[in-house]
Amino acid sequence: MTERANTRLDGKQLLWLLALMVLLTLLWSTWVVWPLKILVVFFHELSHGFVALLTGGSIDHIEVVKEQGGLCVTRGGNRFLTLSAGYLGSLIWGGLALLLAGRTRRDRGVTLAMSGVILLATIIWVRPILGFGFGFHLLAGLVLLLIGARLPRSFNDIFLKVFGLASCLYAIPDIWSDTVARSHLPSDARMLAEMTHIPTVMWGGFWIIVALALAALFLVKSCRTRPTTAPPPSDAGL
């Protein structure tokens, strides 16, 4: 049987997530959401690096600045795939967090795994050691370690959903800014345009369509639950 036949859409959960998205949007330019944005930038850069590694290259170093900018310097690997990995990669990281929080009860384990990824990647690749990016992500990894180890599943569930939604929300305006609003500035899309001779705006349009589809897919799938079945009637007293 298909997944759709075995599960149903939890309307209340979907409405709750949509309300949370509205709240994040309202707070988007405040200090409350700023740490989440920095984490999304980190996973954007890490996605570049992971694809470089998977295609035979290496990561030289990763930089993240407090102005929500970042850089991943890689060597070797498939340049086309490496450049393409950032925008959608950060969305996929967040989408997986949202999906696992919504479909499993392993929220604490997911938070601990996320902490491990951040700490390991920070120690190995984030530079300079005395810079903002290293300090922020070392602290973030330790905070997530404490959250996963000490706080209840319900708190971890909310955190993962907030991070997942923030990743989905961040990716689309980030793509728009780099490929449409500021297409003349250096960006992943600009470098792809120079490599493929396909205009930056076209890359932006393609990525925005894919990002919207992925965000909708993760949102809906995270709200699908297995229906509870009524117990069979008892024969007692017959």
User: What are the tens digits of pLDDT across the range 28-58?
Assistant: 999 999 999 999 999 999 999 999 999 999 9
Take residue 167 and report the two structure tokens written for it.
Answer: 């990743």
- Cα 42 to the center of its chain, rounded Å: 10
Question: What global pTM score does this model have?
Answer: 0.88
Residue 3: predicted pLDDT? 52
Q: What is the pLDDT of residues 178-192, one digit of tens each?
A: 776 666 667 787 888
Other C-beta atoms closer than 10 Å to the C-beta of 169 total 21
Residue type for position 78: N
CB of 100 within 8 A of CB of 113?
A: no
Residue 234: predicted pLDDT? 47
Strands 69-75 and 58-65, how do they pair? antiparallel
State the average pLDDT for the chain: 89
Residue 183: predicted pLDDT? 61
pLDDT of 228 over the 70 cut: no
